[in-house]
Amino acid sequence: MQDVWGLAALWIGLALIATLLSIWLRIATALSEIIVGTVAQLLIGALIGTTLGSDTPWIKFLSGTGAIVLTFLAGAELDPDVFKVKWKEATVIGLIAFFAPFLGCTAFAYYLIGWTVKSSWLAGVALSTTSVAVVYAVMLELGLNKTEFGKAILAACFVNDLGTVIALGMIFSPFTIKTLIFVIVSVIVFFVLPYLTPRFFKKYGGRPSELEAKYLLLFLFGMGYLAVWSGSEAVLPAYIVGMVLAGTVGKDHVLIRRLRTLTFGMLTPFYFIRAGSYVSIPMLVAAPLALLILFMGKMITKYLGVYPVTKAFRYANKEGMYTTLLMSTGLTFGSISALFGFSHGIIDQQQYSLLIAAVIGSAVIPTLIANTFYLPKYLLPKKEEEKDA
């Protein structure tokens, strides 16, 4: 048992270091956790000749739970009222932001790098994403989340990532009778939950026993079990469960804050540090051209897809470029997709390392360029308006 406590202390210590780095360097915590996991694995392997224990069953469980609850929260924070108003441009921008890199990066990986067909499709899925976490953090920091411009970008992010979730499930999950059962049960659950949840919470919720969290975890774990049983991935139904409950759970700010505390304080560090521990720096150094192709593939295809659409919706030049660059970011779903491919033997460790490095690059570089050169400052809320809000 002492080994378990020692390993737990090591991982929480790494999570604490990653959080401090994210504060000092002003980068997303998920990003710093991936980097800390990579560096820690490299140092421990070189100095002691052992590993971080990433394949230990209880670490895999906490890591998987973190991915499921994080994915649920991403779906639950979709604002249905904003989506009703901005559905047309959010849908068009979100879909093109998914399909352009999905098809383009698949072609880049297959024809330019020489990956297999399945590996290339996985690359297309992993690089098609837009990071809701990065975009939401930027919107929140600048106050753009209160403007129609910012709300349209956030809604487009959800459409983009929904496309990624569906593609990951449809391409890599074998279609059997189990898949049919999974789909039928999922549809029933997705229809029943929005009706059942608010009534159940109203009658039994608001107690110190945190009934709401247990209720949500029951459905997330249950749907996760059914997804894995059918040959799919546990995080896939979590995103849609979050979306169908966005009108109820998403508006309960106290419950969302408690779930965030559980998720970011305890669970997601295990997920992102574990994801980083599989990255091999020597393998990255051995294939710099492939890394450049994957990263530029995502940037070029996102630009060619999204920017013309923003002009079609009469965005000004700065607004169009800012939207395009933020839609080019990737982090959470990109790393989830890459880890899914590595865990299921679709890609090897070098391909996994290249995809994660490209995803990390896309989380940082487009955001820096957008905020430095293309921030539409005339759309930022005035300080007086912020005080009134």
Work out the number of other CB atoms within 10 angstroms of the CB of residue 286: 11
Span between the terminal Cα atoms of the chain, in Å: 52
Q: Are 363 and 331 in contact (CB under 8 A)?
A: yes
How many structural domains comprise the chain? 1
In a domain, 296, yes or no: yes
In this predicted structure, the answer to whether residue 172 has a pLDDT above a threshold of 80 is no
In a domain, 54, yes or no: yes
- Mean pLDDT of all residues in the chain? 85
In a domain, 329, yes or no: yes
Using CA atoms, how far apart are residues 335 and 341, in angstroms rounded to an integer?
10
In a domain, 385, yes or no: no
**What are residue 383's phi and psi, to 5 degrees?**
-60, -35
Domain span at 139 = 1-378
pLDDT digit string, tens, across residues 40-81: 988 888 887 777 888 889 998 998 898 888 878 877 877 777
366 versus 141: the higher-pLDDT residue is 366
In a domain, 389, yes or no: no
In a domain, 384, yes or no: no
Average pLDDT of the segment spanning 159-187: 83
Q: Is 27 left (phi over 0), alpha (psi -120 to 50) or beta?
A: beta
In this predicted structure, the answer to whether residue 36 has a pLDDT above a threshold of 50 is yes
In a domain, 386, yes or no: no
Tokens linked to 27: 């980068």
In a domain, 330, yes or no: yes
Which pTM was predicted?
0.77
The enclosing domain of 223 has a CATH number of: 1.20.1530.20
